[in-house]
Structure 1
Amino acid sequence: MPGTACALEGAAAALPRLEALARALGGQPFRLAPGGKAAYHAATVVASNYLVTLAALAQQLAAQAGLDTDAASAVLGPLMRQTLDNVLALGPAAALTGPIARGDAQTVARHLAAIDDPLLEAAYRTLGLATLPLTALPADQREALAGLLKTDPKP
C-alpha cells in the first residue's frame, strides 16, 4: 500500500479518519467531490483500460502497414512512453504533436482513406475530434479539420 493513491468520498465527519487510516497504511489520500466517484472511476478507466485499447488499435494499424507484432511494439512502445512522459510533464496541450496539432488536413485525409476497419476509423475520427480543442489552431483550421473528421470521404 505504500505510495498508493486513495480516493476518498463520503460523510464529511468520516473523511479525516479515513485520511489518517490511509496515511497510516502508507497511502496518499485525496478527496473526491461529493458524488464524484463515478467520474473518478471513469477517468481511471480512460487512463488505464483505454490506453490498452489505443495500443491495440495502433498495433492493428501497424499490422495494416506490414509490421508484425514485435516490430510494432518496438516502434510504438517507446513513442507511447515518451508521449505519456511529455503529457505528465508538460500537460496535454503542450505535449500534442502530429497532423491535427499542425492543422494538416491532407495528412488526416490520407490517414482516413488508408484505414480499412470501420471501428478503427470511427475511433480515429472520434479521437481526432476530441484532440481539436487541445490545439492552438485558428478557428477556421479547427473547423475544417472537424468537418473532415465528421465526413466520410470514402465512396
Structure 2
Amino acid sequence: MTTVAEILKSKADSTVHSIAPTATVYEALRLMADKSIGALLVKEGDAIVGIITERDYARKIALMGRTSMETLVRDVMTSSVLCVHPPQSSEECMQLMTGRRLRHLPVLDNGKLVGMISIGDLVKDIISEQKFIIEQLEHYITGGGR
C-alpha cells in the first residue's frame, strides 16, 4: 500500500501554489490556468485559510451571476480544508476524497505544508499498483515464478 509520502516523491512538481484571500477570483483562475492546476490553497502568511477550485468558480461565480474580476477569493473559497499526513495510505485518501467529494488534499507534516495530492495522483498510483500485480501474475502463470 502506497503512502502519501511516496506519492509526493513520485510527483514531477511538488510545488503547492497559493493565493491570498483578498485576491480576485480572476487572479486565482489566471494562476490556475498558468500552472495547469485545478486548485489553489488560500493562505494568509503560512496559515491555510481555505482552498479555491475550478468547481468553486463554476458553482459560485458563473452560475450565480457574479464576475470573477470583482469577486474576492475569500467570498467563494471553501474555508474548511481537510488535510492528510505523509504516513497515510493512498486508500485512506481515496476514501476521504470520494466520501467528501474532494479532488485535492493538502499534505501537512508536523503542521507544515509539504505538498498537495489530487485525485489524479491517486488514480495514477492505483493504476501503477494494478499494473505491477498483473505483471507479477503473468510472470507466475507463464512459469517465470518457479
* TM-score w.r.t. length of structure 2: 0.27
Larger Rg: 1
Structure with bigger helix share is 1
Higher relative contact order (CA 8 A, sep 6+): 2
Structure with bigger strand share is 2
